[in-house]
Structure 1
Amino acid sequence: MLKNKMENQAESKGNSSQYSLVYRFFRKVIFRLLYLFFCLFPLNKKKILFASDSRTDLSGNFEFVYQTLKRKNVNYQYHFFLKESTRAYKTYWEMVRLAFHLATAKFILLDDFYPMVYPLKIRKGADLIQLWHAVGAFKTFGYSRVGLPGGPDPHSLSHRNYTKVIVSSENVAKHYAEGFGISENRVFATGIPRTDVFFDQAYQVKVKEELYRKYPILSKKKVIMFAPTFRGAGQQSAYYPKDYLHLEKLYHALHDEYVFLFKMHPFVKDYWQIPEEYKDFFYDISHYREINDLLFISDLLITDYSSVCFEFALLNKPMIFYSPDVEEYIATRDFYYKYDSFIPGPLARTLDELIETIQNKDFKMEKIETFVDYFFDHTDGKSSDRVVDQLIVDTDSK
């Protein structure tokens, strides 16, 4: 992965100032005034800003778009503002520079929720492009959840100023438009750049070799990857109910044939404490950022409501949806599609059902092909090219 090229990486050692009245006033008021002032400067049609509050390196969709731009040898200036979370401290100088680049960049690229940009009016001639990190459309999000527990204020400004959003298929464009509170003509079915690796055999071989060197046990047994989504209202309250798994029971039922990898959602910071006697079976690799790489060495995916099922379906490998709280989750979060008929694999509501499904290998593989056909307009490994050509280079020439 590319290293973070973010400008001025100096971090405050004490976060107390983050909560001071002066800091909050600067962030909420002075920052916006600075943006308006910098909008008086000329728009730089060759400037691209990558901004994220969910990663500190240039990975995911950002990396694929950046590498494609470099490969095409187009003449752009690149600027990067990358933080690990929305709570991460931004220095005063960083906020000044962020306001300047937001005001003067022709292209502003996001990959997740980015609260500092939403109160701003994107200037004429500029594009705020959301390269959303998820694939497909599964559980409802954003303004699709108005009126549901934890749903947004219908008058919120969040997301509404995107000028362009990418999706994997025309079939989900309406859901993203609704979720982001934008018109459907701002949603483009280019495909998702980071899924290009699923059609790059050389990359897959390289990643497998690297992971097998780092974790030799993965080449000796079949690999189960457990990758559920988080529970809770969002990044700050995210958790996973650990009582859904009984490590001893899983170990005795499956360890002869499998190893079991934990890949928790990045919002969940409470990692698994694995007892010494089970460490030849359970491995917590939640720190490994790019889940796509881990899918290549996984023989079976266990998930619940996570969008990782979309990427894994491209590999035509089996998956199980382990969802003990499915009724409660539907009532509070809801889905764009009927959950039990939508999922491309069997539903297990209890741990015993999960183990039995694995042992019987009853994976309902026939559901995967129609699932991929519906949620992917393109399966050619050229999504990065479409994003760059259609949303950046073509726009730049106009």
Structure 2
Amino acid sequence: MLTRLKRRAHQVVRHLRRPAPTTDPVADVDDTTPRQLLNEPHLATDVDSLIKRQVTQLDFNGAYLTISGQAWFEQFPETDPEKIIKSLILIDQQGVEITVPLVNVPVKVANFPQAGYHGAINFSKLNNGKPLAPGRYEIRLQLRQYLPKGWLIRRTSIGQIGQAAKDLNYTTKMTSYSAKSNQTFSLIFEYKLAAQAFYVSSHKLSDINPLENEVADAGYELESPTLRAFKRRLLKWWYRWYCLRPIKPDQIAFVSDSRTSISGNFEFIYQALQKQANFKTTFYLKPSIKAKKSFREVRQLAKAIATSRYILLDDFYPLIYPLKIRENADLIQVWHAVGAFKTFGYSRVGMPGGPKPTSLNHRNYTKVLVSSQQVVDKYAEGFGITEDKVLPLGVPRTDVFFDKPKQAQIKARLNEELPFIKGKKVILFAPTFRGNGQQSANYPFETLNFKQLYDNLHDDYVFLLKIHPFVQNKPTIPYEYTDFFYDVSDYREINDLLLIADQLITDYSSVCFEYALLKRPMVFFAPDLADYMRSRSFYFDYFDFIPGQLAENMSELLTQLKHPHIDQTKVDQFVDYFFDDLDGHATDRLVAALNDGFAESTAEEAQLDADGQLRTEDGKVIPDWGQRTHAPTQPKQDQA
């Protein structure tokens, strides 16, 4: 006991003999973390190893925090950034730690050229892609520097924040979406000026099962999973019954569970059919696969599928996949997207959210419409069908990009419906969703800094947000920026919006294919590219494939928006690769195929010309990123 008291007395004496902290605003206060030296436990004294530090900038954008500052060991100047490692350490009340690396920034302070640092933390993704776990955490600064005798490691509080003269507080929310759990958290940041200490707290506010608590907020009634399953069985029984009747050779059924109006591809096809009396058309439209169908509607749908010569789909339609399509009928998928970008369907077997190999989804299509021979193999793989069923006739709704009078009508209408675009350049923000499906669909809005966009662009531009309809966490536009940001997500046809957009911001969305037809600047804003690549692969190398500039952070995004650039050669090659026919007659080709029963056509083969350049049969250059899937023949002139 006496020995322990003596040891404690010596510790107190040593503490009292330590020099008082300097009044320099970036000087280190007492560091309570013990010294950790990997090679030499007494490499430096406590005085020698004090950290001088200061936070020069601290910005919050929702749950996304950016921090810049300076930190260095006063007695050990260093020019080699490889010998200095800076990190933020989050420590909860049980001592569990989370390390966030910081990037060294060359900022010379006195004799310390590597004093600067910069870092970013997305607290909504910090916990293995999920929000920071509930609890209170101290955020400490850690500095590691390699010295001749080993690593010197210290931790301290973050130091003075700029010119802060009082305690600071900031509160926001985080969300997390999955198929079975939609969670909301509060996130509270506290800065204590006296201690120069920084804390963050996470608290769960709600946890909802979307399958059990879905609300019909779109003007339609939802149907229970049990009742939907019963009606699926009933539809199959009625379908077999109506298959005893003859097929009507002039009957076309338009079927969709993602729209209630005749729009998109359906609109173009229907308008073309109206010009001739060859076919009778019927429509079976619902806003969602979960929207209620009456027993009468189920029976009518079964009859239409069983007796129509052609059944046209434009999206995923689970009711129809268990059915065996009759021999003299065609189930035609006209799809809602163009080209091939991120993998889908059976290309994703074994990936998160991918289908089971035994799934029946998509496999009973007899025809699939695509824009180019170059993507036939991608759609065949994605839908689990043979390549001869994939027809590169073109995508009907892209005809608008070749119809100048129709474009003028659309622009005039939008100028009336969206008066705020008059006299301004238009930036259209149209990203795809994150997540594995409709229940988990979300977008990380915390990566989009509304303030920076407003401050840099609002004098000359307006910013339209067209968010994917699956996304559950809708954007919250700060009231002070409502003369710049406008949410047009409820506007159905994105192609109409593309016509008025001077620049497009997207990420991994197929909207880039249509916009490329306009030959205008686009920026691919992908701050989560690494995470997205891990969960969702692409058919082509992303960096070589995209027909626009890549921005992985806000600084790059702002620079590219203010200085738009087009690589005309790359865009031309991109368009030629993904569109076989640039004539605005995709709808006419489909209608002609409907009239003649889809007469067989010969697929094109890639050819090597005399200079070794890979080209399609009609002479279009195949870019490097698109060549891996081709087995080219030799130049024709060498085939004597």
TM-score (norm 2): 0.58
Alignment partner, residue 262 of structure 1: 465
Query: Shift of the alpha carbon at 1:273?
Result: 2.5
Q: Which of 65, 80, 91 is the aligned partner of 2:294?
A: 91
Contact 2:258 2:315 in 1 (8 A): yes
Counterpart CA distance in 2 for 1:13 and 1:140 is: 31
Q: Is 1:65 equivalent to 2:269 in the alignment?
A: yes
- Look up the SS of the partner of 2:382 in the other structure: helix
Following TM superposition, by how much is the alpha carbon of 1:106 offset from its aligned partner in structure 2, in angstroms?
0.8
Greater helix share, 1 or 2? 1
Contact 2:521/2:565 (<8 A) preserved: no
CA distance in 1 between partners of 2:515 and 2:221 (Å): 41
CA contact (8 A) 2:331 2:364 kept: yes
- 4+ aligned runs moved over 6 Å, structure 1: none
Partner of 1:223: helix, strand, or coil?
strand
Deviation, 1:14, is 5.8
State yes or no: 1:205 paired with 2:405. Answer: no
2:516 aligned with 1:292, yes or no?
no
Q: 1:322 to 1:397 in 2, by over 3 A?
A: closer
Within the alignment, does 1:102 sit opposite 2:305 as a pair? yes
Task: Select the residue among 552, 557, 577 that pairs with 1:349.
Answer: 552
User: 2:428 corresponds to which residue?
Assistant: 225
C-alpha contact (below 8 Å) 2:221/2:292 kept by paired residues: no
Report the CA distance between 1:363 and its aligned residue.
4.3
- Whole-Å Cα distance in 2 between the matches of residues 299 and 285 of structure 1? 16
The higher-RCO structure (CA 8 Å, 6+ apart) is 1
What residue in structure 2 maps to residue 39 of structure 1?
243
Larger Rg: 2
Aligned residue type for 2:455: H
Q: 1:358 aligns with which of 561, 582, 585?
A: 561
Determine the structure 1 residue equivalent to 2:332: 129
Task: Name 1:55's counterpart in structure 2.
Answer: 259
Q: Does structure 2 retain, via aligned residues, the 8 Å contact 1:43–1:104?
A: yes
Among 578, 586, 589, which residue is 1:375 paired with? 578
Task: Report the CA distance between 1:20 and its aligned residue.
Answer: 6.6
Q: Distance in 2 between matches of 1:362 and 1:12?
A: 43
2:469 is aligned with 1:279 = no
CA contact (8 A) 2:424 2:462 kept: yes
C-alpha distance in 1, partners of 2:235/2:491? 34
Which amino acid in the other structure matches residue 49 of structure 1? A
Compute the displacement of 1:156 (Å): 0.4
Residues 24, 312 of structure 1: alpha-carbon distance in 2 compared, 3 angstrom cutoff: closer
Deviation at 1:396, TM superposition (A): 8.2
Please tell me the residue identity of whatever aligns with 2:237. L
Question: Does residue 19 of the first structure (1) align with residue 224 of the second (2)?
Answer: yes
Asked if 1:76 corresponds to 2:296, the answer is: no
Q: Which moved more, 1:360-369 or 1:28-37?
A: 360-369
Give the CA deviation at 1:269. Answer: 4.3
Indicate the residue corresponding to 2:135 in structure 1. Answer: none
- Measure how far apart 1:12 and its partner are: 11
Query: What is the distance in 1 between the residues matched to 2:250 and 2:472?
Result: 38
The alpha carbon displacement at 1:328 in A equals: 1.4
Look up the match of 1:393. Answer: 595
Cα deviation code 1:158-187 (max 9, x no counterpart): 000000001000000000000000000001
Matched to 1:207, the amino acid is: I
Tell me the distance in 1 between the aligned counterparts of 2:259 and 2:572. 32
Q: Report the 3-state secondary structure (helix = DSSP H, G, I; strand = E; otherwise coil) of the residue aligned with 1:47.
A: strand
What secondary structure, in the 3-state scheme, does the structure 1 residue paired with 2:597 have? helix
Q: CA deviation at 1:147?
A: 1.1
Aligned pair 1:29/2:233, yes or no?
A: yes
CA distance in 1 between counterparts of 2:219 and 2:510 reads: 35
Look up the equivalent residue of 1:338 and give its one-letter code: D
Is contact 1:138–1:307 with CA below 8 Å preserved after alignment?
Answer: yes
Measure the CA separation in 2 of the matches of 1:95 and 1:14. Answer: 15
Is the contact between residue 220 and residue 291 of structure 2 (CA under 8 Å) also seen in structure 1?
no
Q: How does 1:138-149 map to 2 (within 5 A)?
A: 138-149=341-352
Asked whether 1:181 is paired with 2:366, we answer no
Alpha-carbon offset, residue 397 of structure 1: 9.7
Cα distance in 2 for residues equivalent to 1:329 and 1:268: 16
**Taking structure 1 as the reference length, what is the TM-score of the superposition?**
0.93
* Cα distance change of structure 1 residues 65 and 162 upon mapping to structure 2, 3 Å threshold: same
Deviations 1:204-250 (A, max 9, x none): 11111111112222121110000000111122321111111111111
Is the 1:318–1:365 Cα contact (8 Å) retained in structure 2? no
Q: Which residue of 2 aligns with 1:253?
A: 456
**What amino acid does structure 1 have at the position aligned with 2:256?**
S
Q: Name which of 337, 362, 371 aligns with 1:159.
A: 362
In the TM superposition, what is the alpha-carbon distance from 1:357 to its structure 2 partner?
A: 1.4
Instruction: Output the CA distance in 2 between the equivalents of 1:91 and 1:240.
Output: 34
CA offset at residue 36 of structure 1? 0.6
Query: Aligned pair in 2 of structure 1 residues 336, 396: CA closer, same or farther (>3 Å)?
Result: closer
Letter in 2 for 1:199: F
Q: Which amino acid aligns with 1:388?
A: V
Q: Indicate which of 112, 125, 143 corresponds to 2:315.
A: 112
> CA RMSD of the aligned region, Å?
1.8
Report how many residues are paired. 383
Q: 1:83 & 1:260 partners in 2: Cα distance?
A: 31
Q: State the Cα distance separating 1:378 from its structure 2 match.
A: 0.7
Q: Is the 8 A contact 1:199 1:381 kept in 2?
A: yes
Higher strand share: 2
Q: Where does structure 1 lack aligned partners over 5 or more consecutive residues?
A: 1-10
1:29, distance to aligned residue in structure 2 (A): 1.7
**Which whole-Å deviations, capped at 9, do the CAs of 1:10-66 have from their partners, x for residues lacking one?**
x99864xx3274x24532322211111110111111111000011110100011111
